Every structure is written in C-alpha cells, then in structure tokens.
Structure 1
Amino acid sequence: MKISKIFKNKIAFTILIILFSIFLINFIVYIIPDEKIDGIEYYSNSVKYYDRNGVLLRYAPSETGEWKLFLPYDKIPKKLISSIIQAEDKRFYWHFGFDLISIARSLAQNIKEKKIVSGSSTLTMQLARILYPHKAGIPGKIYEILRATQIEIKKSKKWILEKYINNVPFGYNSAGFPAASYCYYDKSINELSEEEIAVLCIIPRAPTKYNPFKNREVVFNAVKRLLLNSDGKIDERKLYAAIDGVKERTTKFDSPHFINLLQNELKTKFNRDVYKKTVEIKTTIDNRLQKSAENIVESLVDKYKNNRLTNASVIVLDNKSGEILAYIGSKDFFQEDISGQIDGTKIKNQPGSTLKPFLYALALENGFTPATILPDFELNLGGEENYKPKNYNLRTNGPVRFRVALASSLNIPAVYLLNRLGVKNFINHLLSLNFLSIIENKEDYPGIGLALGNSEVKLTELADAYSVFGRDGVFKKSTGFKEIKTIDSGFTKFDPESHIQKKFVKEYRPKTIYDSKTVFIIFDILSDNKSRSLGFGASQFFIDKKVAVKTGTSSQFGNIWAICLSKEFTVAVWGGNFNGNTVRGVPGASLPLEIASKIIDILPIQKNEISPPPELTAIRICSLSGMRPNGLCASLTTEYFDKTISGNIPICTYHKVGKNNDAYVSFPVEFVHWAKSRGLLSAYQENEMENSAPKILFPTDGSVFFYDPGESASKQGLTITVSCKNGGKPLYYSLNNEGLIKLDYPYKKFIQLSKNEYRLRIYDNDKNLAETVNFSVK
C-alpha cells in the first residue's frame, strides 16, 4: 500500500517539530545559567603552606572544610582516567548522562536478588549527585538522571571528567582523587602505581565499606575484581602492598596562628580568581626560627607562671622586605585552659609607653631637636579635674633633654610634648602608621592620655610601625606571603598589584613617614644605654649589638610589651592574660623583654655601629642645658643636630659666675619652683627671685596648644602658673584685655579656653603690669 504524499509530509513535519523541540530544549538548557554547575568552577582548594625554605607547615582544608586539590584535565594522568572509566562507567563516552543498558542490567540483578546489589549511576549522574544532593529512591534517581542530562547538554565530557575526578567524596573529609592521593598515600597522583590507583577507584563507591584502614580484605577483593575485569592480570603481592601502603593522614599543624592569618587574608583580600586557584603557598616564615621562638616563649611563660602570667605573643619581621619571619599568637595553640587558640597579635590592648617613639619622632619633624629641654615636674593639664601625669618611679627630674626623656621613657615630658603638638595631629600621625585600632572605638576617642598609651592597639600594628625605624622611615605593611602557586601556573612572587583586590592594594604600597635624620635619631636614642639610665638605672640591654629597645606596661600590668629593633629585624612581644587578669609583680613585667632579647640573640644581626646621615653633625653640648658649653659647664655630651641649624645653637645660660667668682646654676624661671623644692636653687638665684617681679611659668611665650577632640568643652584649657615672692599677696591677670581677675597664692588657676589667639598679662599686687605672654589654641 502506497503512503500518500500528504502523510509523508506530515511525518516529515512531525519529525522536524520533534527535532526542533529537542534542539530548543537543549538550547534553553544550555544558555540558562546554573549556579551549581557554573559555581563548581570556583570551589576553593586545599592549600599547602610551606616555610620560606620549602618545609611543609600545613596542608589546610578548603573553605568547605574538605581536603581538595584541583587538577586541570590536561594534568590528570591518562591511566587514572582510563581506570575510573573502567571501574565506574565503561560507556561514558557513548551516553548522554544515563546508561540504559546499565540501568536494565542493574534492575534485573536487584529484582533477582530482591535487594539492591548493583547500582547504575554513570559518572555524570554521580557528579549530579554531588552538585544536587537528594534523597535515595526512585524519585531521587529520576531527578539525578534529569540533572545528569542537563550537565551533558551544558558541558563537555572532559569537563565532566575533570569535575568528577576533583570532587568525588573519599571519606575522611577528603574529596577528589588529587587530594585523596595525598590523604591516603602522601604523594601526588602522578606518583601512584596502577594498584594504588585501583584502590582509590574503589573507595568512592562506599567510603565506609571500602575503608582500607579497617576493611583490608574487602578492599582487596573489590580491587581484584576490578583489575580482573579490566585486563585479566593481577599481581596479588603488589595489590597487598598498595593496600598496606595506605597511611593515616598526618594533620601537621605548624605555625597555626600564622596560617590562620594567611587563610583569612587569602579569602578576604585576594582577587577571587587567585583565591580559588591557589594550591600552594611559600610563606615568609623561617620554621627553624619559629620553633626556637616557640620554645623560648613556652619556657619563659612557664618561668613566670607564679606571677599569674599565662600567655605571650611574638612577631619577628625582616625590616628590609617587611616579611614575617616568626609569628606566635599564644603560648600554646592547643592549650584550652589558657585560651590558646586566641591570636594575641590581633587583640587590641593598651600599649603603655610603646607609642612614645612616634610622638617624639613627630616632634623632631616639627622643629624639636634631641637637645631640646623638656619639663619634668608636676604639670596640671586638662580640665578642672587637673590631669597630673606622673613618672613610673613617681620622681621628677626638672629640666631633661629630649634624648633622655625618651630613652628613660619619662611620662611627664611625653604628655607635655603631646600637649604642644596636639592630640589630633598625633592621632593623624599614628593613622599614617596604620594604627587603625585607636579610632575604632568612637565612644572612647583618645585624649591627652594617648601619650601614655591609654588607647588600644594591636601587636601587629606596633611591629609594622617600629620596623619603619629599620627601613629609613618607609612604612611597609608586613606580609606572610612569599610565593604563590595556582592551578594555572608554577610559583610566582607575591605581588599585591596583581594578587590583591584593587580596594586593598593601597595599604600594601610603601610610603615615606620620616626623613633619614628622624629615623637615625630615634633609633640612636632607643639604643642609648647611657641615656636610659635616668629611668632604668645602669642596665645594659645589649652590649655587642646595636639594638633599639622600648618597653611598655598598661595600668597594673594588665599588658606588658617589649620591642627590640636592629637595622635588620624587628621583634615585638606582648605578655599577659586573655582573660584580663593582671600580672603580679615586677618580675613578670620583664617577660616580654626577656623573650625579645633571647630571640635577638639568635638572629644574624650586624655588630657594626650605624652611621648618621650626612645631613646631621655631632656637636658637644652642656648635659644640663642642651646648649653649647660656656666654659663653666662641668658635664658635657655629644648630640646630633641638623647641619642647617648647627650654627644657631646658643651658648649655655644655665651655668653662671656669682659675685664671689663661684659658679652656680641659674635655672630658667619655669624650673625655679622645682629646683627650690629639691634644694638645688643657689643663694644667688634665691636673691634674684626675692627681688623679682611676678614671672609666668606656664604657658610660655609663643606656645601653641591644640584642642582635644576627645574631651568635653569644660575640660579644654590650661593651668596658668606664676612665680612671685611677695609674702603671698594676691596678683592679678587678664586674658585678651577682658579685665583684671584676682590670682591668689600659690598662683595657679585653670582657665577654660577655645580655639583662638591669646594674650595673657600678669600684674603685681599694685596692679602694675609685670609680664605678658602670647599663645594660641588651634
């Protein structure tokens, strides 16, 4: 019977419609984005971290918590691919996601045995199960087939093999053959024998059942069947060797706080593509130095345990490169009773005196010299509460040179300096050094107490900032990354410009903070054993090495600090307790310096003296006045001055000759009361004072003060201080010609001020003008 032409056309049209529908469905499936399928491209890898010399520190899991190691298709051994296809999906290249022959065979076997004895999942279906987890049973299997078909439409066979090989679960929290190779055999996939590959091919079928650690014979029999089915050959001796060669995965965990630091930075600051593709990192850590530093910390913290001290944190930097050589977050990462997993380098604590060098450096950049005389006597600063800073030893020393004040870490001169330079200016200066912690607490904005460390900083911030003095005044953010290896390339040198997200790149760029003169002077002061004797006695911290030292303690020894700095290295140490307990006694407060000193001793530090920059010249001065000696000065010292001002240093005015040709010290008027209270005022100066008119001791003429944004308006001001010998009779003062105001003995009074230019006049008891000073508040 002949088929009509119309019927033929209908059949052809129907076939065409079906083909077009299939094409359309495939096209729609292909172009519609799928987060699961597309997202698998961005799963991160497990990362191997090495020290700078190639010593493995840690093999860390991926962001999903699994042990994964991505290997691109062209790097996957061909013998592995063929073994997987032979074991799991012989007709992989011929089906479109599901295998009807395999499904029929599996169905027949399961019906015959009346239980599930055989599966029918293709490699694509297994990948679909990884991407789209679902419940077991017939509905789940149907869903799996649909998803497998979708994957086949959207992706190539190579892509499917690559993703399966890199993501199939292996138990023990590992996924993918490349990671499993290290987890079970501690070697790369390319180093595996045929038998070892066969063992790995069996495990994903049922990781618990085919656990080679627990079910040796079950694994042996399964692998034997696999090998017999593939080529009919088997060497039982080699097969047993492959099973017995499986190793328990070592959880090497060296430098744990440091690796955690790098993992966080890798995830939050690196470009997404770099982060996802990184598989190995050569860090800057020197593992031998790290181990030595850890032993030092552990032994010394134990030494002071009776002083209620449980923890210490350490950072060692290479000043030239900014690389982290050692990084210790706590005494013991694994000791729970001391909260060892807390990273003390990142905890904000009050830094005590450790901020003073940056204050003094700012002063040098603003016209002060290391010979400038600073006041070390009782000062009344702040508001009506009369903030009165005190030195650590509760003593005052009158006039002290800038160098001595910093080297001895005197508190009163530091507060005076901050008052002169301005709190806001100092805060901005600290921010330029990346001390971001000081402004994070908006409710506790720093005030004048910032000079003594009443704000909070991190040890990481201190270490980075101090390294500036070993790097010619250039700030460089420290880094733990040296070289990075991705799945696309070998090891490449860490480069923030290419590895870091654009919004973070700026913080990695070096910037100049101080000139070479400031850097040299601060370093020279902090390494000057003689000048620190006023505050610390005749202690000699380092005899044969040029090392700058700064220590600090917060109130009641809650936090104790030490920074040791050579031109090559910075060692920063914090000691204390994460639970807030204070350290008992002075011996415990010496812990950080002792740790830093022992680490310095094992570092390759040059013993040569450090030469001053050519812009500085050394000049002999009077030790008391900081001026050129006048022939009467008994104690002289050498100080560095900028050559541009060396010719303007005045002759000493402190040392004079009396009527009887005997020498005496004539203190500047602001130091007279201090000298009198110490019995140091000569009869000549006593007589001068008896017959002198009222003198303004504070503020001095030309002083500039800065409004403190951290204090209320009622506390913004200063205490005028006047000296006069008149039997205690009242004096008078005026401010900007606003009328006379009575000033009673002892001639001290707090006056509230705002930003302005001021003229202060003092009048004697008869209201005759005695002295005028001009000052300003900015």
Structure 2
Amino acid sequence: MANRIGNYFKKLSVTRKVTLVSVTFLVTIYIFCLPRQLFHVSYSTVVADRNGELLGARIAPDGQWRFPPRNTTPPKIRQCLVAFEDRHFYHHWGVNPLSIGRAIYQNIKNKRIVSGGSTLTMQTIRLARNESRTFGEKIIEMILATRLEFRASKEEILSMYVSHAPFGGNVVGLDAAAWRYFGHSAEELSWAESAMLAVLPNAPSMIHLSKSREALLTKRNRLLKQLYDQEIIDRSTYELAVSEPLPSEPHPLPQTAPHLVTRFYQEQKGKYSLSSIDKGLQIQVENLAERWSNEFLRSDIRNLAILVIDIRTNQAVAYCGNVHFNQKQAGNQVDVIQAPRSTGSILKPFLYYAMLQEGSLLPDMLLPDIPININGFAPQNFSQQFEGAVPASEALARSLNIPSVTMLQKYGVPKFHSFLRQAGLKTLDKPASHYGLSLILGGAEATLWDVTSAYAHMGRSLLKLPQTPCTFLLPTGRDDKNRTSSVFQPGAVWQTFNALIEVNRPEEIDWKSIPSMHPVAWKTGTSYGFRDAWAVGVTPRYAVGVWVGNATGEGKPGLVGARTAGPVLFDLFNLLPSSPNWFERPSDIFVEAEVCHLSGHLKGRFCEETDTVLILPAGLKTEACPYHHPVTLSADGTHRIYENCADTEPAIRQSWFTLPPVWEWYYKQHHPEYQPLPPFKPGCGEDTMHPMQFIYPPMNARITLPRQMDGNKGFMTVELAHSNPNTIIFWHLDESYLNQTQDFHKISLQPSPGKHSLTAVDSEGNSISTTFFVE
C-alpha cells in the first residue's frame, strides 16, 4: 500500500506535489491548532452540602469570583442566551456567514464597529484567548471556532461559555453571577433573572447594577419580549417577568460552615467539592452554637466548636469549627475541630474498654481511690476527696482520676499509647515515655475530629459496620481499600457504653423515668488549668463532639466540661432526630460468671453474696476476690480468736470483707455499712494481714518542702491508716524516736535534704517502714 502511494506521488507534477503537501500541512495544523486545555485561568474554591446546596466559596487567586466550570446549562439561561446572542447556534459549525456579512455591512454603514458577528462558539474562543479585538484575531477565532465544533458538542460549548463569560465587576461565569446577583443557584433562576444575566456579557462594563440601570432593564425586557414573540414563554410568564425589579446590589455569598470551606480551600483549592454536610442541620447547629457562645462570653469564654457525625455513614453532617467567623477577634478564625487541645479526661473510656477487652478488668471491679504518689506524680480527683475503693464502671461514670491512673499503671502506658494511635489519635506523635501516666488525665493533645471519630467507631462496632476513616467529603464511589480491621470489638464497647450512660446529665434529673428521653453514652473532660472543656456523646445514630474554651489558650475558672460543653451536647441531641432504640446487646460474645457482690471480682472461695453477670470470656482470667477472708469470732462478736482458742470457748466462723488499711480508712467514711475486722482477743491470736499502711509518703517519694510566708523551710505531713482505731502508733525517723499518736495518726516533719527512712510501730508490735527523699 505504501509503495502504491509512493509511486502515485512520484507521477504527480511539481505543482500538484506542492499543493498536496501544502494541503496536508494545513490540515495537520488545523487538527492540532486547538489547545487541549482551552482555558488557563484560576477558579474559586466552591463547597456544597450533600444535596448540592452552596455552603460557601473562596475567591480565585486572581481576585475573580469564577466558579469551577459546569457541565450543563440550565434550560432558561440556554434559551435566553441563544435568543439574544446566537439564534442559529444549533445550525452552524462555529461561524455564521450571514452574521459575519451583516456585521461587516453595519460597521461600514456606521463607519465604526457596532457588531462583531461572533457566534457563541467564537465568543467562547475569544474568552479563552483573551486577546485584543483585531481583524486578524477575528480570523483566528473563526478558524478555532470551527475546530472546537468538531471537538465538543453544542451543550459542552455553551457550558464553556457560561462558565467563563464576564458578568460585571469581578464576577465571572453563570454560577458566580447567580449567587452574587440573586442569592441562589443558577438552576433556580427565573425568566427575568435569566434574561438579565443573558444580556450582561454583551457589555458587562457598560451595563452594571449601580449604573445604567435603565439601559440594563430595557435590554432585559426586550429579550423577554423576544422570548414571548417566539412563543418560548406565555403571556402571563412574560408579564410577571417584566414586572420583576432588577437586583439593587450584589449579595454576599453564603457563609455556612466557613471553617470547613476554608479547609477545602487549603486542601482542594480551585475545585468544586460536594461535602457530607447537611446544610439545614448545619444552620441549626450554628445558631445553637451562637446562642451558647453569647452565654459563655459573660465569663470571657470566647470559642466553641461542634462536630456531628452520622455513625451509619461515618460522615460529618455538621461541622462548626468555631463561632463568630466574621468577627476579627483573636482565635475566631481557628478551626478548633482540627486544632490539637489537651484531652483532660475524655480518653478514659478508651482505657476502660482496652482493659475489658484484654481481660485485666471486670466492669464493677473495685479500684483504689486513695492518695498516691508515683515518682512525684500525685494526681487528685476533681473533688479533692478520696473514697477508698470504687467500682470501675462508677469510677468511669464519675470520671475519678486516681482509679484511672492506677488502671493505666496496670495496663501500661506504651500499650495504651499504641492503642490510641490505632484508634486514630494522630496527634500523639511523641513516644509513650513523654506522656507517662498523665496521658489519661490530659497530658496529651488530640483534636475534636480524632476524638469524636474514635467514639463514632465505637458506635459503629455495635452496628457491625466496618472501620473506615471518618470524612466530610462525599465519596465518588465505593472505596474498599480504606477499610481496616476494627480497633473496637462490640462486647467491650457494649460494657463501656453501659457505664457511660450512667454519667450524670446536666439537667440533674432521672432521665430514665421520662419516656421521651433516650440513652446517651457520653463523657466530659476538663484540661489542666481550665483551658479546655470537652463533651462527646454517642447514640445509635450520631456521635457528637463539643469543645468550649479560648482558642488562644487562656484558662477560665468556670471552664469545666460538665458545666459548659455538657449542656451544649444535650441541646444538640435534643435538636437531632432521636434514636428511640438503644444498641442491641452483641450476641454470642458474653459468658455467664459469678462475681462477688461487694468487690466486683470473680467469686472467691469465701464470697457468700454473689451476682450472676455477663462478662467477656477474657474476663475469666482475672483474679478471684482477694477481699473476703474466713475469720473466727468470739461468741459476742467483739474479738477475733485464733482457731486453737475455739476449743476453749464458743466461736463463730464466717467470711469477712476486708480492704487494705488505706482503702479502708477512706472507704468506711462513705460506706457506714462497712465493718472493720475486730481486733484479736488478747492472748488468742495475731494478725496475719498487715494492719497498717502509709497514706503519705509512699515508698521512694521525692519531696520538696514548701517555703513558709516568712521564707523559712516548711513542713511535710506524714499520715498512716490502721485497721484498729484504738491502737497507739510510735513514730521513728532514721531510727530516732519522734512521737506517738492515737486515733488520728498524722504528724508533721521537717527533715533535712537527702534520703530518710520513716518507721511506725503499733502497740501490738507490728511495724511498717517507708523511704523517701527530700530535695
């Protein structure tokens, strides 16, 4: 074939050869004359809600309101444009010879340019090239217009035109014009509005809303009359349209979810993004946030953030990154949802869950709530009080700090740190040793996004939904590659949520007695120095996170999670569609077990009062109750006696619930039913369990003595608990006798710097020692 063509070409005359080569060259140039990308301009960042309703936009880098190109043109604006600009648009190939001829005749007749004769396709090329309007440029436009007709459909060409046409000022494109001039989308334009926008690109600099309004109105009405004459609109539609006034001034673009729009601007600049936000709900949430913010401003608490996640889809449906976005006050522009903040107690449910899942904790197992000092770290409960021992579920519901610290000490900081990272807390970017035991009390920072997402994943595990990253961007299709193995298992989550629904609500009412109120598993948190107040709640439908504080980091005395973020949280749940049914209990996971009624441990040999409860199989390996012991009492029950003495006098044998001395010291103050062990009858036995325990200082504590008002060195107070309230304690410091105490075993010391040994001996000869360091 190639040889035949070659032979044919050789037989041609020189003139024909030159002609053929020239034609081939010109055709090739024509084919490739149109750039692959027609428009090289920047676009505004546009964000819409899940239904396509505009949330907000950010102006393009060149200062123009130019929305990203659209793919279709609304029917009304299409008919108006074709009627006004190019009646034969659907019948030519980019150039209309009759229009060109008419334009030449009019320009010669008027001795000036009064008409360009350009088709809509030619105008699209002119907008893309943005060159001076000369005769040579007109020829180029005509060539490129015919080439564009081969590449794109009429609908595509019209969409290019309306996306880039000037509409006066810095408004470019139909979508920007519809929102700026009429405050709604292009799809909602009326006939009058469509006609006005159709005539604007014809002379956008000469016809403007604030000047030449009569000329603009005349052109608009003339076009409407033309549509009526062509029977595109009927008479009543025409009369209504011409009666519509022109807009008085441009409208501001919507400012819904402004912090989210800003984030899209940072991450998806110049694009149109369909978010997962529900605009109607978003507006309600923003109004609620403004009301609460105005209340908090009385206490100089200036910022508030709210995140609402639909746990079924794992998508954010409301995103309020902060309040007062348009007010130029410090901190208002900060998107707190994405800002790392001190976590306070908001991570405690994750530790409770992890220990249940591992099998190192049962839901109601007693935990110590006593003064502790671990290498200088001496946590305190918010109430500054101690209860001796508290069930784990109650400690979580009441957010007690000391039980949480002892739980973390048992579970291990590195293991918990790793678990939190797996749960999605990406801001924990330092090694576990950096945080230490303070990790559970706010020693780390997390974002409201990560924390609320983690709670949402807990809820999703109970709905048997896969763990996927939470998002605020609607996915374009199914994406299985983002699915990961779930960190949370439904059994331990179920038990954790059972504890969290017992958290006292801000209303201080018995919500269970009111049928219209539904369960919410929720938790609050307050950071050190009252800088951050948190509240996160979960229902079978939503996970809601609230943060209250000052984005600048200032603490305020009243900034407590339960008093600020908590009430906002329940106002939000009252606003959201309710979830009448609670999560179903996971099936085929739990096993029945007998647990001690008093200690919450698995039933021990000597536990008499037990409960049959459902626990995770891993819980079967926990320790049996260590607090019940068999004792032998004298007949009157006032003394214990050694078993050998039971042969010489009547005796009562029974099981006795006994806590360690320090636990007991505080526990009996809150539990009047608690009965300490009676002392041994003189000459008839001795304690096998140690009867006393130091409250302070703990072993190897490092102590800095305070300075008094006069500048002199202060004192430290040592304290001890004894199971026998009538005993006498003899105190020794470094083998030197100090003093004796009875009833209340507490003395003040002023030791010199260095290592010291403190010893206490009771009247029965029992002794206990501890070592501490004064710095």
Q: Distance in 1 between matches of 2:688 and 2:621?
A: 36
Which amino acid in 2 is paired with 1:454? G
1:400 to 384, 390, 394: 390
Q: Distance in 2 between matches of 1:217 and 1:360?
A: 73
Say whether residues 1:206 and 2:218 are aligned partners: no
Residue 364 of structure 1, CA deviation:
1.5
Alignment of 1:115-514 (within 5 A): 117-119=114-116, 123-134=120-131, 136=132, 142=136, 145-146=139-140, 149-150=143-144, 152-153=146-147, 156=150, 158=153, 160-171=157-168, 173-177=170-174, 180=177, 199-211=196-208, 214-222=211-219, 242=241, 244-245=243-244, 248=247, 251=252, 253=254, 255-257=256-258, 260=261, 263=264, 267=268, 281=274, 283=276, 285=278, 287=280, 289-337=281-329, 339-367=331-359, 368-382=361-375, 386-439=376-429, 446-472=435-461, 475-480=467-472, 494=475, 496-497=477-478, 506-507=481-482, 509=483, 511-514=485-488
SS in 2 for 1:745: strand
The change in CA–CA distance for 1:648 and 1:94 in structure 2 (over 3 A counts) is: closer
8 Å CA contact retained: 1:220, 1:239:
no
Greater helix percent: which structure? 1
Deviates further, 259-268 or 216-225 = 259-268
8 Å CA contact retained: 1:85, 1:92:
no
8 Å CA contact retained: 2:731, 2:758:
no
8 Å CA contact retained: 2:492, 2:616:
no
Q: Distance in 1 between matches of 2:379 and 2:295?
A: 33
1:565 to 529, 538, 550: 538
8 Å CA contact retained: 1:220, 1:240:
no
Q: Distance in 2 between matches of 1:14 and 1:513?
A: 80
8 Å CA contact retained: 2:322, 2:336:
yes
Residue 729 of structure 1, CA deviation:
8.4
Per the alignment, residue 604 of structure 1 pairs with: 578
Per the alignment, residue 597 of structure 2 pairs with: 622
The change in CA–CA distance for 1:743 and 1:241 in structure 2 (over 3 A counts) is: closer
The change in CA–CA distance for 1:330 and 1:199 in structure 2 (over 3 A counts) is: closer
1:745 to 757, 761, 764: 757
Residue 237 of structure 1, CA deviation:
10
Structure 1 vs Structure 2 CA RMSD: 5.4
Residue 307 of structure 1, CA deviation:
1.8
Q: Distance in 1 between matches of 2:624 and 2:606?
A: 13
8 Å CA contact retained: 2:56, 2:258:
no
SS in 1 for 2:553: coil
8 Å CA contact retained: 2:529, 2:555:
yes
Deviations 1:463-496 (A, max 9, x none): 11112332335544334456xxxxxxxxxxx555
**Alignment length (residue pairs):** 663
Per the alignment, residue 528 of structure 2 pairs with: 555
Residue 355 of structure 1, CA deviation:
0.6
Per the alignment, residue 717 of structure 1 pairs with: none
8 Å CA contact retained: 2:638, 2:678:
no
Deviates further, 25-34 or 326-335 = 25-34
8 Å CA contact retained: 2:94, 2:145:
no
Q: Distance in 2 between matches of 1:182 and 1:644?
A: 60
Which amino acid in 1 is paired with 2:387? N
Deviations 1:25-70 (A, max 9, x none): 5524644784642768x9789665356xx9x454757867424662
Per the alignment, residue 38 of structure 2 pairs with: 37
Per the alignment, residue 27 of structure 1 pairs with: 28
Residue 380 of structure 1, CA deviation:
3.6
Residue 365 of structure 1, CA deviation:
2.0
8 Å CA contact retained: 2:308, 2:316:
yes
Q: Distance in 1 between matches of 2:331 and 2:733?
A: 63
Which amino acid in 2 is paired with 1:468? H
Deviations 1:380-405 (A, max 9, x none): 435xxx22222222333334332233
Deviates further, 57-66 or 398-407 = 57-66
Deviates further, 388-397 or 688-697 = 688-697
Residue 551 of structure 1, CA deviation:
0.8
The change in CA–CA distance for 1:697 and 1:228 in structure 2 (over 3 A counts) is: closer
Q: Distance in 2 between matches of 1:583 and 1:208?
A: 54
Q: Distance in 2 between matches of 1:62 and 1:252?
A: 10
The change in CA–CA distance for 1:145 and 1:377 in structure 2 (over 3 A counts) is: farther
8 Å CA contact retained: 1:106, 1:120:
no
Per the alignment, residue 746 of structure 2 pairs with: none
Q: Distance in 2 between matches of 1:446 and 1:571?
A: 27
Residue 514 of structure 1, CA deviation:
2.5
8 Å CA contact retained: 1:216, 1:243:
no
Deviations 1:216-264 (A, max 9, x none): 4313554677799999989999878545536646556364247627846
TM-score where L is the length of structure 1:
0.68
Per the alignment, residue 86 of structure 1 pairs with: 86
Residue 567 of structure 1, CA deviation:
3.2
8 Å CA contact retained: 1:67, 1:179:
yes
Q: Which runs of 5+ in 1 are unaligned?
A: 1-8, 483-493, 499-504, 701-721, 732-741, 749-769, 772-778
Per the alignment, residue 17 of structure 1 pairs with: 18
SS in 2 for 1:352: coil
Tell me the percent identity. Answer: 21
Deviations 1:60-105 (A, max 9, x none): 5786742466244898987456425537999963749999757855
Residue 19 of structure 1, CA deviation:
5.7
Q: Distance in 2 between matches of 1:74 and 1:17?
A: 50
8 Å CA contact retained: 1:46, 1:66:
no
Residue 285 of structure 1, CA deviation:
2.2
TM-score where L is the length of structure 2:
0.69
Q: Which runs of 5+ in 2 are unaligned?
A: 1-9, 640-655, 699-719, 723-728, 736-753, 761-767, 770-775
The change in CA–CA distance for 1:87 and 1:227 in structure 2 (over 3 A counts) is: farther
8 Å CA contact retained: 1:312, 1:576:
yes
Deviates further, 455-464 or 99-108 = 99-108
Residue 411 of structure 1, CA deviation:
1.8
The change in CA–CA distance for 1:576 and 1:230 in structure 2 (over 3 A counts) is: closer
SS in 2 for 1:416: helix
SS in 2 for 1:437: coil
The change in CA–CA distance for 1:252 and 1:244 in structure 2 (over 3 A counts) is: farther
8 Å CA contact retained: 1:546, 1:609:
no
- Higher relative contact order (CA closer than 8 Å, sequence separation 6+): 1
Alignment of 1:719-734 (within 5 A): 728=732
The change in CA–CA distance for 1:546 and 1:171 in structure 2 (over 3 A counts) is: same
Which amino acid in 2 is paired with 1:565? V
Deviates further, 407-416 or 679-688 = 679-688
Residue 556 of structure 1, CA deviation:
1.6
Residue 519 of structure 1, CA deviation:
0.8
8 Å CA contact retained: 2:365, 2:599:
no
Deviates further, 404-413 or 56-65 = 56-65
8 Å CA contact retained: 1:656, 1:666:
no
Residue 436 of structure 1, CA deviation:
1.0
8 Å CA contact retained: 1:516, 1:613:
no
The change in CA–CA distance for 1:688 and 1:356 in structure 2 (over 3 A counts) is: farther
8 Å CA contact retained: 2:366, 2:392:
yes
